[in-house]
Structure 1
Amino acid sequence: MFREFRDTLWNLIKSRTFILSVGFLVLFGILLQRVFYLQIVKGSDYLESFSLKTERDVSLSSTRGKIYDRNGEVLAYSELSYSVTIQDNGSYANKSTKNARLNETIYRLIQLVENNGDSVVNDLGIVYENGNYAYTLEGRALLRLKADIYGKNKTSELTPSQELASANELMKYLCEAKKYNIPDSYTEAEKTKYGIAVDGYTPEQKLQIATIRYGMDANSYKRYVATTVATDVSEETVAAVLENQDSLQGAEVAESSRRVYPDSVYFSSIIGYIGKASQDELESLQEKNEDYELNDIVGKAGIEQYMETELQGTKGYEKMYVDSVGRIIEVAEQKEPVPGNDVYLTIDKNLQIACYNILEQKLAGILISKIQNTKEYNPGPNPSAAKIMIPIYDVYYALIDNHIIDITHFGADDATELEKSVSQRFQTKREQAVAAIMAQLNSDSATAYQNLSREMKNYMSYIVANVLMGDNQVLMKSEVDTSDATYIAWTNDETISLREYLQYAISQNWIDVTKISGDNPYLDSQEIYQSVLDYIQSALMEDMEFGKMLYKYMLLDDQMSGREICLLLYDQNVLEYDEDTISRLNSGALSSYSFMIDKIQKLEITPAQLALEPCSGGIIIVDADTGDTLASVTYPSYDNNRLTNVMDSNYYNSLQKDLSSPFVNRVTQENLAPGSTFKPITAIAGLEEGAITPSTVIYASGQFTEITPSPTCWIFNQYGGHHGNETVVTAIRDSCNCFFYEVGYRLAGGRSAGGYNVEKGLSILEKYARMFGLGDKSGLELSEYEPRISDEDAVRSSIGQGTNSYSLSHIVRYVATLANRGSCYDLTLLDKLTETDGTLIEEYQPKLHNQVEIANSSWDAVHQGMRLVAENTSSLKVLSDLGLNVAGKTGTAQQSKSHPNHALFVGFAPYEQPEIAVAVRIANGYTSANCAEAASDVFKYYFKLTDEEEILSGTASGSSGQTIGD
């Protein structure tokens, strides 16, 4: 038996199976030993230094270059600041637990930041106001936001419902469980399950959390890159975050660069601001430099945008290792970034600031001269744009209409007694107004629109334009037949009631039933009408714009007083507390009218805040020999510090709603008719084409009867008079329309064998307009509208009417060309580019756009005429008494008889050897005398003709109110 066992064992040992088994046992033993070594012997070491490492490269942002004025005064720079950031580097059991804990962490971090007086980022493009979410973006930028949130690569991939999604709908999507799961409240069971303490979130907090979560989503493929929660935070916030860091997963304090604009309001239209790159901006920049990344801060407007690649600098990088959840293990390699280059502008800082203040003072002076202590303005049987007055009640209401007084605060918990009282009266007014509206809409004998009171007319118009045809499109604009007789009866003839119009709209299927019927789209016409009424009533009880309108009628009906408006300015800290003034207002010793006039006079209430007409204007000054722009002022402006780095969406939203339109650059983005400032071009065209000579005398009768209808001269319209015999020089001085009508008529072939040909005249006028640069953009490195040379009515176009439309930048280039006798330069804001140590990289040279070659006699005639405008026009003594020889031309463009005329002045000085060309325009400025007065202050300041304190008084400047004939 032993032998059999031995043989069997020996055979087994000799078998391949045994050898393989032994080999496997040895290998298993080695593996077991290795596992024991790694997990038991070295386990604690490897726990501290997780072996799964991934190499990552992180770019380091460079310091943005500075922006200086021509004299080396800093206009923009970057400084060190601290930001609060958060990384998604936690470990969670599942998605629902992650959402709950991450949301709570973000919430606690936000509370910590705000408790220390700092603000969190709110750059999602959505704000919460008046009980609803609203977009601060529009157009392509809004579509891009929706595409990103809905996970679409292209905006074209959005479904119709996604493309039309309201801000409320988009926020609902972000807060759903499948996205970020940000609920109004948690149950006790949910709080226990997720290990959180928060009860839930308010609408404002949900928006804040969604903003941060969206930013973290954008970084999801780079979890080691932190998302910014707050920028430029205080030392108290830094300390608080560091103290609580153990309980705030992923929270950090990071050094960052903060862009600063020392004199922001004066230069924002030129410099612009910076912010996070949009997808479109990123793609465009990557074509120039592939180093640009999604979270980069780039120029969004102005010189910051135009010179982006020069200011940005060169990025550095860090090569690092991160673990599986994005935590940085070690930094293996690092390269420091290279700062951006410095940009010097042609702008003179002090001149720019002076011109802004001159313009504001002038606007305030015009307003004061036009405000009357009445409730309403009655234009009378013969309305005139020059005679429009501003009732003081329009001033009171303007403070509400332009959101200076916050009506949403009237019902707040911390509202003052006055605010609460006004709120109670408002609630009563709204209930009464809505009841009266619904009574009209329910009445079988509803009043035709033309027979309603003015108040009720405004209500009915608002319902159609804003409630029914607003964003929700209950009354579908695309379906309405504007040629339909009933539509015309409602809009033009005003012979039917809104009830009749809506019932007809229902019969024509102009109403989108799905917007008002809920779950039951199968309604008959009466049921649809009732649904429309229910929709209107519900909307009016919530609509804040309708609410603003009600305050106007509360004022007019003495349900709210002007004195209360004045006191509300103190209650809401619009004005600094002044016990004496408040006491005098309450006692009646100071009238609300006198109070308002005084505050406007002192610029404590500004034209921009009132947003009445006029409230805006522009001044541009260029070097007459080079096209260098010395000042480019637009009023009103904004604080670009609040838009830069991380945008303050609430502030941006307030600017968008501001009725004074501070985002509009009045120098480059306000194209208006040039009026009589175009006449020198017509004069040159007439002289060069042989239609007239410098000695030609034309009798100006006040009416030009060669065409029908016959245009008239300003002197005929105002006084029933005429200028009589005029030469080209005196016609420029007198701004004689009839003289230039005749020139335009002759240029078009009038009084010749070929006969009058409109196209011929327009072609010649266009030829000379283009010679002076009016056919192209000015060259300024800013967003600028295209000019428009008139293409209709050669006779009227000769005095700057027709379809002529130019910005101030177009006009000042033309005037500079007049001043230097023919060198038409592209305007520029750029002086030079240097490295940070001052080493010159590039000096920007003027670019000649066109050289105008005309006879010296033509130059002389136009110059002499423009000199006489400033020297011999009685209403322009502000120019003739300067002690400086100035050449100029005034211009007025009518908008309508219900709005003040637009006012314009252009000129150059000194007359003998021009240094600067100036253009001043005040939209709805009544008379060009106001612009000439502002230009006079500009000349005084630039040439140091009087004390600076006299020019820049800080109070409203006087307005002559004289109407200049132009």
Structure 2
Amino acid sequence: MFERFRDNFFNFINSRLIVLTLVVLLMGGVLIHRVFVLQIVNGENYLNEFSLKIKKERSIPSSRGKIFDRNGKLLAYNDLAYSVTIEDVYESDKNKNKNLNATLLETIHIIEGNGDSVISDFNIFLDKNGEYAFSVSDTKLLRFLADIYGHASIDSLKEKEKNATPQDVIDFMATNYGIGERTDPDDRTTFVPGKGYTKEEVLKLVIIRYAMSANSFQKYIPTTIATDVSEKTVAAVKENNDALLGIDIAEDTIRRYVDGTYFSHIIGYTGKISSEELKSLNEETSQGGDDEGRYEMNDTVGKSGIEKVMETYLQGEKGRETIYVDNLGKEIDSEGRVEPVAGNDVYLSLDADLQEAIYNILEQSIAGLLLEKIENIKEFNLAPNAKTSGIRIPIDDVYFALFNNNVINLDHLASPGAEENEKAVYEAFRQKKEKVWNWLTQELYQDRTPYNQLKEEYQSYESYIVTNLLINDTRVLKVDTSDEVYRTWTEEETISLSEFLEYAIAQNWVDVSRLDMDTQYADSSEVFDRLAEYISQELEKTSFYKKLYKYMIRDNSISGKQVCLVLIEQQIVSVSEEQRAALENGSVSAYQFMRKLIENLQITPAQLALDPFSGSCVVVDPNTGEVLALVSYPSYDNNKLANGIDAEYYASLQNDLSLPLWDYATQMRSAPGSTYKMVVASAALMDGIINLSSTVDCVGTFTRYSDTVMRCWNRSGHGNLNVTEAITHSCNYFFYEMGYRFGQSGDPESGTDFNLANERMREYADLYGLTEKSGIEIEESAPQFSLVNPSQSAIGQGEHNYTTVGLARYVATVANSGTCYNLSLLDKVTDRSGNLLKDFSPEVRNTIEMPTSYWDAIHRGMRGVVEAKKYFVDSGIIAAGKTGTAEESKTRPPHAVFVGYAPFDKPEIALATRIGNGYSSDYAAQISCKVMQYYFNPDREEEIISGTANHLEAVTSAGD
């Protein structure tokens, strides 16, 4: 038995099972010991230090390059600032949105409580009616909607998405981000977007959450909530740091523009990169292979102007580092840092001092011209067939302009903080509004007065409702413009508004889907009622009620004195107590008071947006093709658009009737008027149509065309003139004759071939660069050459349309006797150490090979123009030039144009000046004279730029 026990024991010990059991027990012991050490002995330490390490590559932004003028004057730079940021460190559970939104809202209140603002770089804002509105339109709006709804291309947008309203977009995003509440806590389908928040809070949360979503794939990169915040905000955020999960303060750089208003159209501004820009810039900077370019979705890039044109030079190269983040996306370690390389510096060809001086000269001079045309009358009606240069501006139009162009804050009139005159104006408006609506209701349902029997005031209201509101803005009406009844409404004007709307309903022109009604069983009367209700609702959202102020001022429901006092109460203007008292007691009239405000530029031409209110001037070095100044008035503050667009400010610019975003120097086109005559003179001489001794007898009336009578500005005629004299006296008759002769191929009495004549003139227009853009690097409108009656074209009318910068290149070519440059705004690019990387020298486009005697004849003609002007003679500047008046409208004054150069015998500068709707070319010439005075005598700056309106000399001659 013992032997059996022994054998069994040894068999058991030697068995594989026991070996395996022992091994398992041993390993288990080791594991238990290890776990004991980890969890018991060192558990607390490991718990504190434990994190799931995830390796990430992070880019380090570079510093954007600076922009200087030709003399090294700083125009754009980066400034250190504090930003409030958030990292998405929130657990992805059902409470994430609730917790994240609560933290953001508390942070917003802290930021705004200390006088700072959160980011507003979004294409939706709250308008004056407290409704969401888009700040962009057309293609930009479609691109925005595509990004919102997650489409790579606008072509992928569904019809419903394309037609989404601002409220639709906000509701969609608020739902995605959990900004709202459920009416039933247990039912997700009862979620109401925005519930429990104000509209302002919803918009701000949506903007920040949308910015965070751009970083969703790299949570360890923080999203900016507010930038350039005060030290108070920094302190408040840090004090509440424990309660504000993910919120932090970061050092940042923001783009600053020195005296930005003077240069905004040229320099442009920066902003967050779009998906399309990301793609194109990465394609541009890619080196091939695995290199995908150096841009990322969170980058800031140039959005317009030189900032955009020179983006790849200014951007610099990002640094890189490897970081490790924990399972919450929090950075815990880093290594392998490669420092970023700063962007290069760009030098422009501009002279900053000259640029600023010309802007001020333009504003002062346009203000002076405006004052000359303002009269103390209530209305002005131009007599039939009278010249538009005789238009005058009633003072009532000035008062109304302050309302119409949003100078006076209409919302504040009805606010609790409104002062005495504000309240009185608002009460008058409220009564007028009620009266107009009662009239409209009665007109729709009872009176049915034919349009042509209404007073002018009520005609304007009805026209606005049909054309602006129902057809253009909301597109509720889709009319057949060839329909007889529609033509009766628009042309004969013998039917009433209600009759027209009833007919539109009967013809199914009304898009009832936009009226938000059940149309299955609706009859025409129900549709009419709903349409009337719709008109009432939609008028509140438009600028319609501004029109009421026009007629309130006209019928003295609002006085000029009240308008002036509202300006003071809203602190739009600042006056002394004595000046206010004089206005109130009547010792100074409202007319005199308003003129003084314009005189002192407290109210500017841009604010009024009454003709004239815009101007441009381009100065070129005719010896190099470098642009020394390129000025557009009015302008805007590009500091408010850099570092993220302020949507409300951007919308205000778009709604400004003076169009400050429009570059009047490079984008506005107009006929050149008589400034075009040097092109025709060159063509006539070079093609042998005339020689230097040839004369044309100007008898005042040109009758070569059987169906068209043309007149010289001098109705009695100039008599016999050669080409030099024709330029000096700007004789239209002479150049009518040249245009006619260009089209003759044989017998002088056989008539003229329009195509042949225009083609011969076009050849020389091309030599002067007038058939192509000027070459400047920023956006520019293409020129348009006239192909109509060659005699009209020969005096710079017809269909000719050129930019101011295009005319500047043209006159620079005249000044240097035939070298046409592709103009440039750029001088050079250097690295941060000042080493030259690239030099920009304007290229010669072409040269005009013309005998010196011909050039001398043209130059003498231009010299004669200037010699006849007393202000040029008094200035002491020996210059040459040509005036031009561009008549383009029967209801607005003509544009005023001047081109010239100085000194006459050895030109240093050539310039083109245009005043939009500036009445007479002589005014443009006077402004140009002041520009030349400043250029050659900058030490007289205080005399030339006074800071007050510059009263221009009255025009004594009708000629150009």
Instruction: Please classify the TM superposition score into its range, dividing by the shorter chain length.
Output: over 0.9
Shifted more, 817-826 versus 575-584: the winner is: 575-584
CA distance in 1, matches of 2:126, 2:744: 63
Q: Name the residue aligned to 2:615.
A: 617
How far residue 843 of structure 1 moved from its aligned partner, in angstroms, is: 2.2
The answer to whether the Cα contact below 8 Å between 2:85 and 2:225 also exists between their aligned partners in 1 is: yes
1:393–1:233 distance in 2 versus 1, CA, 3 Å? same
Q: Distance in 2 between matches of 1:429 and 1:751?
A: 70
Query: Higher mean Cα deviation, 735-744 or 382-391?
Result: 382-391
Q: Is 1:812–1:906's contact at 8 Å kept on the other side of the alignment?
A: yes
Instruction: Give the Å deviation of 1:373.
Output: 0.8
User: Counterparts of 2:512 and 2:6 in 1: how far apart (Å)?
Assistant: 98
Shift of residue 577, structure 1, vs aligned partner:
5.3
Q: Is the 8 A contact 1:624 1:819 kept in 2?
A: yes
Provide the residue aligned with 1:643 in structure 2. Answer: 641
- Per the alignment, residue 467 of structure 1 pairs with 469
Cα distance 1:559–1:8, how it changes in 2: closer, same or farther (>3 A)?
farther
Indicate yes or no: 2:384 matched with 1:378. Answer: no
Give the alignment partner of residue 631 of structure 1, picking from 629, 632, 640.
629
Q: Which residue in 1 is equivalent to 2:73?
A: 73
Match of 2:130 in 1: 131
CA distance in 1, matches of 2:526, 2:938: 75
* TM value normalised by structure 1: 0.94
Query: Is residue 819 of structure 1 aligned with residue 819 of structure 2?
Result: no
Q: For residue 481 of structure 1, what is the amino acid of its counterpart?
A: D
Query: What is the identity, as a one-letter code, of the residue corresponding to 1:62?
Result: S
Partner AA of 1:87 in structure 2: E
1:596-611 pair list within 5 angstroms? 596-611=594-609
Q: Which moved more, 1:675-684 or 1:483-492?
A: 483-492
The alpha carbon displacement at 1:895 in A equals 2.2
Spell out the pairing of 1:510-549 with structure 2 (5 A cutoff): 510-540=509-539, 542-549=540-547
Is 2:731 the counterpart of 1:736? yes
Amino acid corresponding to residue 178 of structure 2 in structure 1: N
Distance in 2 between the 1:751 and 1:600 partners?
A: 59
Q: Distance in 2 between matches of 1:102 and 1:708?
A: 80
Q: Which residue of 2 aligns with 1:490?
A: 489
| 1:954 and 2:951 aligned | no
Distance in 2 separating the partners of 1:595 and 1:38:
86
1:170 aligned residue: 169
Q: Indicate whether 1:303 and 2:289 are aligned.
A: no
Task: Supply the AA of the counterpart residue of 1:232.
Answer: D
Instruction: Tell me the distance in 2 between the aligned counterparts of 1:150 and 1:521.
Output: 32
Residue aligning to 2:707:
709
* 8 A contact 2:777–2:825 mirrored in 1: yes
Alignment of 1:51-450 (within 5 A): 51-91=51-91, 94-95=93-94, 97-129=95-127, 130-176=129-175, 179-183=176-180, 200-289=196-285, 290-443=293-446, 446-450=448-452
Whichever residue aligns with residue 452 of structure 2, its letter is Q
* d(CA) in 2 for partners of 1:746, 1:276: 57
The one-character-per-residue Cα deviations of 1:760-802 (angstroms, maximum 9, x if unpaired) are: 1111111100011111111111110111111222221111112
Structure 1 partner of 2:877: 884
Asked if structure 1 preserves the Cα contact closer than 8 Å seen for 2:695 and 2:722, the reply is yes
Determine if contact 1:624/1:914 at 8 Å carries over to the other structure.
yes
Q: Deviation per CA, 1:846-905, whole angstroms, max 9, x where unpaired?
A: 210111111222212111111111113xxx221233222211000011122210111100
Deviates more, 1:680-689 or 1:431-440: 431-440
1:330 deviates by 1.0
1:410-455 Cα distance to aligned partner (Å, 9 max, x none): 2223222332332222222112101111211213x61222221111
Partner of 2:696: 698
8 A contact 1:383–1:897 mirrored in 2:
no
AA at the equivalent of 1:905: F
1:551 Cα offset (Å): 1.5
Q: Which has the higher mean CA deviation after the structures are superposed, 432-441 or 807-816?
A: 432-441
Partner of 2:722: 727
Query: Which amino acid is 1:484 matched to?
Result: D
Is the CA contact 1:341–1:833 (under 8 Å) kept in the aligned structure 2?
A: yes
Q: Determine if contact 2:713/2:958 at 8 Å carries over to the other structure.
A: no
Partner amino acid for 1:907? Answer: G
Residue pair 2:375, 2:393 contacting (<8 A) in 1 also: yes
Taking the aligned partners of 1:668 and 1:745, their CA distance within structure 2 comes to 32
Alignment of 1:761 with 2:763, yes or no, is: no
Distance 1:142 1:539, change over 3 A: closer
How far apart are residue 471 of structure 1 and its match?
3.9
Letter of the 1:88 partner, please give it: D
Q: TM (normalized to structure 2)?
A: 0.95
Return closer, same or farther for 1:566/1:74 CA change in 2, 3 Å cut-off. Answer: same
Deviation at 1:470, TM superposition (A): 4.0
Show the counterpart of 2:45: 45
Matched residue of 1:621: which SS?
strand
Q: C-alpha distance in 1, partners of 2:45/2:250?
A: 29
Q: CA deviation at 1:21?
A: 5.3
Checking the alignment, whether the CA contact within 8 Å between 1:816 and 1:917 is kept in structure 2 is yes
Q: Which residue of 2 aligns with 1:682?
A: 680
Quote the offset at 1:578 in angstroms. Answer: 3.0
After superposition, the CA RMSD in angstroms is 2.2
Aligned-pair CA distance for 1:11: 6.8
Paired with 1:465 and 1:28, the residues of 2 have a C-alpha distance of: 88
Describe the shift of the 1:773–1:11 C-alpha distance in structure 2 as closer, same or farther (beyond 3 A).
same
Q: Distance in 1 between matches of 2:78 and 2:951?
A: 41
The unaligned stretches of length 5 or more in structure 2 are: 187-193, 286-292
TM-aligned CA distance change 1:683 to 1:233, over 3 Å: same
Matches within 5 A, 1:500-519: 500-519=499-518
Give the stretch that moved more between structures: 772-781 or 374-383. 374-383
Q: CA deviation at 1:107?
A: 1.1
Q: Quick one: distance in 1 between partners of 2:461 and 2:29?
A: 90
Tell whether the 8 Å contact from 1:624 to 1:917 is kept in structure 2 after alignment. Answer: yes
Shift, 1:914, TM fit: 0.9
With over 3 angstroms needed to count, the CA separation of the structure-2 counterparts of 1:945 and 1:834, relative to structure 1, is: closer
SS of residue in 2 equivalent to 1:245:
coil
Query: Displacement, 1:22?
Result: 5.1
Q: What is the aligned-residue identity percentage? A: 47
Counterpart contact for 1:384–1:898, Cα < 8 Å:
no
Distance, in Å, in 2 between the alignment partners of 1:229 and 1:334 is 27
Q: Which residue number corresponds to residue 195 of structure 1?
A: none
Q: Give 3-state SS (helix, strand or coil) of 2:710's partner.
A: coil
| 1:22-64 Cα distance to aligned partner (Å, 9 max, x none) | 5555544444444443333333233333331111121111111
**Partner SS for 1:881:** helix
Q: Which amino acid aligns with 2:303?
A: K
Whether the 8 Å CA contact 1:713–1:736 is kept in 2: the answer is no
Q: What is the deviation of 1:584?
A: 1.9
Aligned position for 2:289 = none
In the alignment, is the contact (CA less than 8 A) between 1:616 and 1:923 conserved in 2?
Answer: yes
User: Which residue of structure 1 aligns with residue 670 of structure 2?
Assistant: 672
1:5, distance to aligned residue in structure 2 (A): 8.6
Give the SS at the match of 2:704. Answer: coil
Separation in 2, partners of 1:38, 1:326: 25
Alignment of 1:803 with 2:796, yes or no, is no
For 1:702, the aligned partner's letter is G
Distance 2:464 2:65 in 1: 50
Check conservation: 2:382, 2:388, Cα contact below 8 A.
no
Matches for 1:917-932 after TM superposition, within 5 Å: 917-932=910-925
Give distance in 2, aligned partners of 1:47 and 1:106.
Answer: 30
Among 915, 928, 931, which residue is 1:935 paired with? 928
Distance 2:99 2:264 in 1: 41
**Secondary structure at the residue paired with 2:252?**
strand
Change beyond 3 A, Cα 1:244–1:616:
same
How far, CA to CA, are the matches of 2:537 and 2:672 in structure 1?
A: 47
Which runs of 5 or more residues in structure 1 are unaligned? 191-197
1:7 Cα deviation after fit: 7.9
